[in-house]
A and B are shown apart, each in its own frame.
Chain A
Amino acid sequence: MRIPCPYCGLRDAHEFSYLGDATVSRPAPDMPDAQEAFFHYVYLRENPAGAHEELWYHAAGCRQWLVVSRDTRTHEISGASFARAPKADASHAEVKP
């Protein structure tokens, strides 16, 4: 499996480490239902058969966190972008394999 790193280009998956679901976002701790929201945020994950967004860390390359779009059934990767959107250096736009 190869991941199209927006900085380094197409690289073998061995250069990356996998974190997991990139679709969850940390809820505000001062919400009225914060405890319930945090339970969902910390423990509950979708397990889609098909397109999924995942966090991968390019440890052996540019040392950036990426959001990778992967089909969980075929491992086909349809794109990758920086998890932290670059501000002034937005020139490294999303690349497709």
Chain B
Amino acid sequence: MSELLAEIPASALVPEGHYGPRTPAPGVVAAQLSQLALATVAVRPNALDLVAELALEKLGLALPHGPRTASAGDLTLVGTGPRRFLAIGEGITGDPLLERLGHAFGKTAALTDQSDGQMVIQLSGPRTRDTLAKLVPIDLDPSVFKAGDAAATLVALIPVLIWQADPAPIYRFAVPRSFTPAFLRALVGAGAEFGLQLTGTGRG
């Protein structure tokens, strides 16, 4: 596997496929999710209470308090900092997402399309936590980090936003697009011993 990682271009995504020993079922399933729209939401000073009301009224979302997620239908908000959120729309593109958020929040928040700026990688499978123990510097034990929790942190010195989408567990990572090849290399290196199935990256 290290031969493969040595041969593919440093700027290319790791090609999809199976890495590591063949087990009846892969220990880790990693997927690059497409058809997601992302946008940052930066709430104006003193407007957090108003935005929380608007989110509930217009989007049916309880604004996350602290580093947590909130979802309603195909829209998810992840808390990334005080008055800062990442909005993720499934099955849509950036423009309709911004239109929807702009319609809901008006001038109470600054919106920036990040659909071209970040890629989202989803991890699932029985050995996901064993893999992430080698990559993520925060404690992901279910007693500390549960479904709906989020954290902005570093993976292999790459700034990522991680959130747990499901107690199964399923984790999602928003990774800066140009760092995703390096992120996937670190991921494959950490997860291959458990058998890692990678999808959504095509031929790399």
Binding site for B on A (CB under 8 A): 7-9, 11-12, 14-15, 60-64, 82, 86-89, 91-92
Once bound together, how far apart are the Cα atoms of A35 and B154, in whole Å? 43
- Does B81 interact with chain A (Cβ within 8 Å)? yes
Cβ of B153 and Cβ of A11 under 8 Å apart? Answer: yes
Cβ of A88 and Cβ of B66 under 8 Å apart? Answer: no
Cβ of B82 and Cβ of A86 under 8 Å apart? Answer: yes
Q: Which residue of chain A has its CB nearest to the CB of B158?
A: A60
Cβ of A62 and Cβ of B153 under 8 Å apart? Answer: no
Cβ of B82 and Cβ of A60 under 8 Å apart? Answer: no
Cβ of A12 and Cβ of B82 under 8 Å apart? Answer: no
Cβ of A64 and Cβ of B46 under 8 Å apart? Answer: no
- Does B30 interact with chain A (Cβ within 8 Å)? no
B-side interface residues, number (CB < 8 Å) = 20
11 new A-B pairs (CB below 8 Å) besides A7-B81, A11-B137, A15-B154? A8-B152, A11-B153, A14-B137, A14-B154, A61-B152, A62-B80, A86-B82, A86-B83, A88-B46, A89-B48, A91-B65
Query: Which residues of the partner chain B approach A11 to less than 8 Å between Cβ atoms?
Result: 137-138, 153
Cβ of B159 and Cβ of A60 under 8 Å apart? Answer: yes
Task: Kindly identify, within residues 30 to 50 of chain B, every residue whose CB is under 8 Å from any CB belonging to chain A.
Answer: 45-49
Once bound together, how far apart are the Cα atoms of A14 and B157, in whole Å? 10
**CB proximity of B44 to chain A, nearest CB, Å:** 10
**CB proximity of B71 to chain A, nearest CB, Å:** 21
Once bound together, how far apart are the Cα atoms of A49 and B154, in whole Å? 32
Cβ of A88 and Cβ of B81 under 8 Å apart? Answer: no
Once bound together, how far apart are the Cα atoms of A8 and B154, in whole Å? 13
Cβ of B84 and Cβ of A62 under 8 Å apart? Answer: yes
Once bound together, how far apart are the Cα atoms of A82 and B45, in whole Å? 15
**CB proximity of B48 to chain A, nearest CB, Å:** 5
Query: Which residues of the partner chain A approach B138 to less than 8 Å between Cβ atoms?
Result: 9, 11
Q: Which residue of chain B has its CB nearest to the CB of A59?
A: B159
Once bound together, how far apart are the Cα atoms of A82 and B151, in whole Å? 18
Once bound together, how far apart are the Cα atoms of A62 and B159, in whole Å? 11
**CB proximity of B151 to chain A, nearest CB, Å:** 6
Cross-interface CB contact of B82 among A14, A15, A82, cutoff 8 Å: A82
Can you sample 13 A-B contacts with CB below 8 Å? A7-B66, A8-B153, A9-B67, A11-B137, A14-B154, A15-B137, A60-B152, A61-B81, A63-B81, A63-B84, A87-B45, A87-B46, A88-B47
Q: Known: A7-B67, A12-B137. Contact between A89 and B153, CB under 8 A?
A: no
**CB proximity of B162 to chain A, nearest CB, Å:** 11
Chain B 46-77 near chain A by CB (<8 Å), digits 1 or 0: 11110000000000000001110000000000
Cβ of A89 and Cβ of B154 under 8 Å apart? Answer: no
Query: Which residues of the partner chain A approach B159 to less than 8 Å between Cβ atoms?
Result: 60
